[in-house]
Structure 1
């Protein structure tokens, strides 16, 4: 091997133990290239320009005249003078970073800018240039002349289990030609001295000058013609290790990694994947409004394009591709023996899926699960805020915490620096800090940071925030990743973020499920610390009541025996939001609006059609078209949402049993769903009227119940979740229960199909005739519904109990 070749190692020459030579990224790519290609994990070929090349560059003698054109950042006159008198770049960089204080943002900004300018003005050694040229020529031999490559930073301190350094250093896409590759190598070296990277290392107790940089040069995957994204072999919010989280969007992956778009997300159940089941237990369709593609511009390598509406409404990857990605993530995790944070890309030319980076997941790797922390606002306070118009904005919740403070809104990080310079000048002129109006001050600890999107430059500020709010981004965006690492609540993908009132107090709650809520004003909340001994054997069997599916991944960490009650109504109200019969009869409703003729299928609802305003019916039909546009049969929306909601709960707790109560909305509650007023009667006392089992068997509602059955059947037979149990609510007689059991059996989810059946004990007949219920329904068990049992025993509607002058409850003798 020639001397110049010693500066380069190809992927098949390095492995995970070579991070000291080729950096964390290069070592990981080599490890996978050498060991996982035979397992179906594809890695584009490439080489590493190693740390020896970096050492040659920084240790070479440099004459002061070389740096004559280096600009002088504000306040850096003395530092620049001292740096220019250094004999080598390494000496100059040491001068730049001497006495660096990460808490002084302006000083750090100036020092980092000077360090980068010195790097970019330093000549590249001939040996380095020759080594890069030889490596690029070999890639051209493999892939074709002028091959497009990615030039990516790979520091020796990054991608460890203790610190990810995600996004700290720069990488470049769609680079062509030897000269351009060499120049981008130098830009990568300069990024070692980005302000955010220096601060990050100082705060971790690391010496920025002790880090060395290798640079990866690898074949580009043409994801600009397809899709790309990230995935975690662990749930990034809860740390649940039984699922894989995949984020996907169109184009090159930078926008997903940066968090500047809301991607599609998929949750895949690992055990189901191993068993060969469908396994995609939850999906969320992101907005994906922009994509990064190749640019024909000689100055810019890439550009941002708008995504057409039709593509935004479609999934960015196919189901089989999602499964293949999950299989690759599983193979990578099993090879490394730890949860992994992975970047992937689909080639639009070959349609093949590639892995372009994998590093240890760091947030949950450092945090044990022995302590649970619960943030809570009083339920009555939440209800009051929502009903009184105090909700300012909503978005995706990151974490489960609550934070409050005054809003500090910035368009970009440069605005922050400009404000800091202005305030520093005023203080230098003799103005005291307490004399500066609060509205004119820059970000302070405990403030709420609001911006369009964050980048690594923001991180020194982010760690001081009580709450982070961004207009763009999803659960794998930069803001979300850093918020988790710092333990700060964040609301991302918040479309109203930039409309929040500047300098006014707000409270942001991520403790109410998947949605993050921003309320006007500062409001009290409690923090409950719970020490959990997961090895302790509990003598009392405990099961949870689970409402929202997205909370189940976190709740499953508790040492419980499963789920004792999961209500389908939560999925209907939060995910579906459309009356099931409005989906069943969608085409009939469209024809009714066009012709005014009530079809035979709609004739049972003629009174509701006459009663409802036509504009309201048209609005509900239009909303179904908008939300279910990709479904030829609109019932598919209901089935998918229901099976994914229940599937996520079952996957979270597997193999512990999950008891799901089939739908138990009353007519007044169904009426509140979109389109519901057409299909629901007005009953004097809906609590004891058309509900529960009697609904399932009614000819009018039977098509809706069959959709429910199809969803539950998919959970069991498609997902392979064998821990599902079903419960029938408000079942008046053993014969009624038997008839419902027979319907379940038609869909292969009855007791004889291995799905245990329960009944809600909430009627006197359930108690008096218990033996008959058990026999005819082949019951596995029952659950006492004390509230309804009180009302049916004492003939007092649950809605009227508070006003009843002789109070009764579950402790009353008859109950």
Structure 2
């Protein structure tokens, strides 16, 4: 780590002060401040001790550039304007009349006139923020819009302009003429361990040419005074002008031609420290951060990375229907375009690339000594992976709480709601809470502002808010916010919501990050939520049922139980958990327990596979026969059922299987992957505590309910005591399917290295059957002789 350096030092070794520039070249600015403090510093000149000089983002980039590039990390080169440049900008005397033509902001006319008479930008902004009512969104909207207009109308002081010109010229020397750069805000209060500023400030991508760099610099400066940023700070008793803004100018990584995303070195929902969470999508990474695209998600086990083993313990294919790329024409630098349908069904990163990212994440976490939130990008020209940002994870990273808060709904009620079709929408659950309230549907934050203006007009006309019909209210505390996606503009409203529902986004989107920080449940990626959930509809949202979040019609009771884990003493009796679904394992593993006493493989088969194993094993033969080909020998035992089903129905079945397995050419691999990932996630979450997994024990009627199950399963009078458990594994008709199960489990122990996996054989009728199944497992490397507790 770099040593902390004195921001007041007049000269720092290795740093060159920007030479004085003439002060009469920029109209509207009379520069009087004179200092030998540098206005720009390069990544090679700064480290974590310099956050007070160049802000959190730049100091972290510099720290990685200086300390970790030599260890194999890739960080694009760049520089940052310093706090001194910010002070020069704020304190430069401004000629009278500079702000005369700025925005006519509503509700702040008197304040606007007073601010226009101030001699500096700092004084004008101070007047705008004095006594600002943070609970009045409409007035805050007007004040901050005016503040941004003042910033954009203020000319850059010559010294700041010259410093930026010199820095961009040096990048041009290194990378070529008109080098494309990212211009990114780096606030002194940003990226700390205590407060996440989750996209509070602007970034501008694909900026080419000095004039556009200067324009983007002022865009970053203006973003320090958005409603969300100012309100965020004022609500935390921070003065927006006491902090300072640095601006990073760094070489762009051409991820518009490849992919990009974010990583957490801790599970962002549960805080489980065994896992690295990687999100990936095509194009520039802004859409992942915004939450306007559902990315691919990969979970890596840290111990496997450290030991050089296969580390992937879970993968989910995202929709990835849009991507951000360089704009081909027009005035914008980037644009969002559709992704080709065939590419949506493919992974946006190869497995070896995910592993490389995991190693980078581990290196960063070990260097900083805390969980980290990391942005990465893949260069489409070179194929290289780069780190473009790293900041402390703020929800769990400093979490010293020992109170466990558990939200539950009555299981009978949940079953009844699902059976009666009362599930209105589903998506990815963020957190584990439950909440209910009235729905408020908004397409954009600007729509909220328009509604607030109309409400204020009603109040001015003498109407009391409580007397107005509910549909004329804009948003009451405890309402359910439903929108397509959130941006930082939404945060004043998000703080008041009981539940947040978005149509787009994943667990690393803006909505998810902010919901965690505010302690509000969110369900993201709810398709068509703004159409299904109607204004003022009463709903209950549950994030307490695992990976999937449910929106139920109506207000329903739920229970909240709090337990201080710190007060639970040591027990002589071992306490182990029953774990049903793998997606709850990361949360369950945070409970004080001695491991998993029972994890049923059938939950993975029904929830994650959903297709009969023989339908996957013989998929090619099924497809050929459904298309009019001859019956393959492997399918001969099922001729009667296949003929009864008919080729038309078989073609529909083949299509359904293809839709469920889009990224797999070999459907057998799909089965092995799903079982492997389900078991591996449970074992990794609890490692090194033991996890006892019961081998598959579906009954014939349950197998028939799987896709394609009718073709391969008999109709039995009493499935409870019929073809199940050990007898299935030993039956030649099913042994090939059991082999796939064994392949997955063997991979978990031998390739990933999760040696805490233990096995249980269910429904073993006789000692002879027991010996036979042990021999079968022994042949497949899963017996006592292979070191597997059985």
Length-normalised TM-score, structure 2: 0.94
2:314 counterpart residue number = 282
- Write out per-residue CA displacement over residues 277-297 of structure 1, whole angstroms, 9 at most, x where no aligned residue: 111100000000010001132
Confirm or deny: 8 A CA contact 1:534 1:559 kept in the other structure: no
The answer to whether 1:634 aligns with 2:667 is yes
Match of 1:11 among 43, 53, 59: 43
From the superposition, tell whether residues 548 and 278 of structure 1 become closer, same or farther in structure 2 (CA, over 3 Å): same
- Per the TM alignment, residue 615 of structure 1 is displaced from its structure 2 partner at its CA by 4.3
- Per the TM alignment, residue 531 of structure 1 is displaced from its structure 2 partner at its CA by 1.5
1:239 counterpart residue number = 271
Match of 1:663 among 690, 696, 717: 696
> How far apart, CA to CA, are the structure 2 residues paired with 1:738 and 1:104?
74
> How far apart, CA to CA, are the structure 1 residues paired with 2:465 and 2:662?
57
SS of alignment partner, residue 448 of structure 2: helix
Q: How does 1:570-581 map to 2 (within 5 A)?
A: 570-581=603-614
1:787 counterpart residue number = none
> How far apart, CA to CA, are the structure 1 residues paired with 2:724 and 2:507?
38
- Per the TM alignment, residue 534 of structure 1 is displaced from its structure 2 partner at its CA by 8.0
> How far apart, CA to CA, are the structure 2 residues paired with 1:114 and 1:41?
42
The answer to whether 1:543 aligns with 2:558 is no
> How far apart, CA to CA, are the structure 1 residues paired with 2:567 and 2:679?
25
1:566 counterpart residue number = 599
1:490 counterpart residue number = 522
> How far apart, CA to CA, are the structure 1 residues paired with 2:387 and 2:629?
56
- Write out per-residue CA displacement over residues 410-464 of structure 1, whole angstroms, 9 at most, x where no aligned residue: 0100000000000001100111112211012101101000000000000011011
- Per the TM alignment, residue 314 of structure 1 is displaced from its structure 2 partner at its CA by 0.6
2:771 counterpart residue number = 738
- Write out per-residue CA displacement over residues 345-387 of structure 1, whole angstroms, 9 at most, x where no aligned residue: 0011111110000000000124335111111111111111111
Match of 2:731 among 679, 686, 698: 698
> How far apart, CA to CA, are the structure 2 residues paired with 1:595 and 1:222?
47
- Per the TM alignment, residue 626 of structure 1 is displaced from its structure 2 partner at its CA by 2.2
2:167 counterpart residue number = 135
Match of 2:502 among 470, 484, 499: 470
Match of 2:678 among 641, 645, 649: 645
1:768 counterpart residue number = none
- Per the TM alignment, residue 62 of structure 1 is displaced from its structure 2 partner at its CA by 1.1
The answer to whether 1:582 aligns with 2:597 is no
> How far apart, CA to CA, are the structure 2 residues paired with 1:482 and 1:694?
51
From the superposition, tell whether residues 365 and 225 of structure 1 become closer, same or farther in structure 2 (CA, over 3 Å): same
- Per the TM alignment, residue 588 of structure 1 is displaced from its structure 2 partner at its CA by 2.1
> How far apart, CA to CA, are the structure 2 residues paired with 1:308 and 1:712?
35
Confirm or deny: 8 A CA contact 2:346 2:662 kept in the other structure: no
The answer to whether 1:167 aligns with 2:199 is yes
2:68 counterpart residue number = 36
1:451 counterpart residue number = 483
> How far apart, CA to CA, are the structure 1 residues paired with 2:268 and 2:108?
41
SS of alignment partner, residue 397 of structure 2: helix
Number of residue-to-residue matches in the alignment: 757
1:226 counterpart residue number = 258
1:553 counterpart residue number = 586
After the TM superposition, which of the residue ranges 601-610 and 240-249 deviates more from structure 2? 601-610
Match of 1:438 among 470, 473, 476: 470
SS of alignment partner, residue 190 of structure 1: helix
The answer to whether 1:363 aligns with 2:395 is yes
> How far apart, CA to CA, are the structure 1 residues paired with 2:101 and 2:77?
38
- Per the TM alignment, residue 614 of structure 1 is displaced from its structure 2 partner at its CA by 4.7
> How far apart, CA to CA, are the structure 1 residues paired with 2:274 and 2:465?
51
- Per the TM alignment, residue 628 of structure 1 is displaced from its structure 2 partner at its CA by 2.5
From the superposition, tell whether residues 622 and 154 of structure 1 become closer, same or farther in structure 2 (CA, over 3 Å): same
Confirm or deny: 8 A CA contact 2:627 2:647 kept in the other structure: no
- Per the TM alignment, residue 633 of structure 1 is displaced from its structure 2 partner at its CA by 2.4
Q: How does 1:733-812 map to 2 (within 5 A)?
A: 733-757=766-790
> How far apart, CA to CA, are the structure 2 residues paired with 1:230 and 1:2?
35
Confirm or deny: 8 A CA contact 2:610 2:707 kept in the other structure: yes
The answer to whether 1:304 aligns with 2:336 is yes
The answer to whether 1:604 aligns with 2:637 is yes
The answer to whether 1:217 aligns with 2:232 is no
Q: How does 1:143-182 map to 2 (within 5 A)?
A: 143-182=175-214
Match of 1:400 among 417, 424, 432: 432
Match of 2:99 among 46, 67, 75: 67
> How far apart, CA to CA, are the structure 2 residues paired with 1:534 and 1:337?
28
1:796 counterpart residue number = none
> How far apart, CA to CA, are the structure 1 residues paired with 2:662 and 2:102?
57
Q: Return 5+ residue gaps in structure 1 as ranges.
A: 758-815
> How far apart, CA to CA, are the structure 2 residues paired with 1:543 and 1:51?
54
- Per the TM alignment, residue 686 of structure 1 is displaced from its structure 2 partner at its CA by 0.4
Length-normalised TM-score, structure 1: 0.92
- Per the TM alignment, residue 607 of structure 1 is displaced from its structure 2 partner at its CA by 3.3
> How far apart, CA to CA, are the structure 1 residues paired with 2:157 and 2:392?
34
1:117 counterpart residue number = 149
The answer to whether 1:678 aligns with 2:715 is no
> How far apart, CA to CA, are the structure 2 residues paired with 1:6 and 1:369?
42
Q: Return 5+ residue gaps in structure 2 as ranges.
A: 1-15, 20-36
SS of alignment partner, residue 676 of structure 2: helix
> How far apart, CA to CA, are the structure 1 residues paired with 2:279 and 2:131?
41
> How far apart, CA to CA, are the structure 2 residues paired with 1:325 and 1:3?
37
- Write out per-residue CA displacement over residues 28-65 of structure 1, whole angstroms, 9 at most, x where no aligned residue: 00001000001211110000111111111110111231
